Structure 1
Amino acid sequence: MNIYVSNLGYDYQIEDLVNLFIEYGVISSATIVEDKYTNRSKGFGFVEMPNRSEGEKAILALHGKDIDGHVISVTEAQPPKQKTFTRRFR
């Protein structure tokens, strides 16, 4: 299960994210998204948990939790939307 975590503090590290989720089950990966020019956190990330029931338990427990003054949002990640391109002909 891929989990989206938003409203993280900009100083939040991957290790912090892992430590937040590890008590709910096995984590196969964790990522904090960074700005490609500044390498600064964008304040959101993803946690992959292979066991769906453990992921759902983590979402229920962590959504709305205050972490260092930030109320985080924890939801199941949605697949990226397909971009559609329209082309105009003259």
Structure 2
Amino acid sequence: MRIYVGNLKYQVTDEQLREMFSEFGQVASADVIKDKFSGQSKGFGFVDMPNDAEAGDAIQALNDSVHDGRKLTVNEARPRTERPQRGF
């Protein structure tokens, strides 16, 4: 299951995100999303967990929890919706 994790501190690394979820089970990948130009974190990321039951436990435990002083938003990731291109 792919999990969305929002409201992360900008300093959180992929490895810290992986560690946060690994206590609930196997983590296939953990990626903090970064701006492609500056490399700065965008404050959210995605975690892939192969076991849906473990992923569900992680979502339930971590959603609305506080990590580094910030209240996390954790839920099952939804497919990205197409946004119209911005004209310049």
The corresponding residue for 2:53 is: 53
Counterpart AA for 2:59: I
Q: What are the ranges of 5 or more consecutive residues in structure 1 without an aligned counterpart?
A: 86-90
- Structure 1 CA distance for aligned equivalents of residues 63 and 83 of structure 2: 29
TM superposition outliers: structure 1 runs of 4+ over 4 Å:
82-85
Map 1:1-80 to 2 at 5 A. Answer: 1-80=1-80
Give me the CA root mean square deviation.
1.4
Q: Show CA shifts across 1:12-64 (max 9, x none).
A: 01111011000100011111000111100000000000000000000000001
The structure with more radius of gyration = 1
Identity %: 44
Matched residue pairs, number? 85
TM-score (norm 2): 0.91
TM-score (norm 1): 0.89
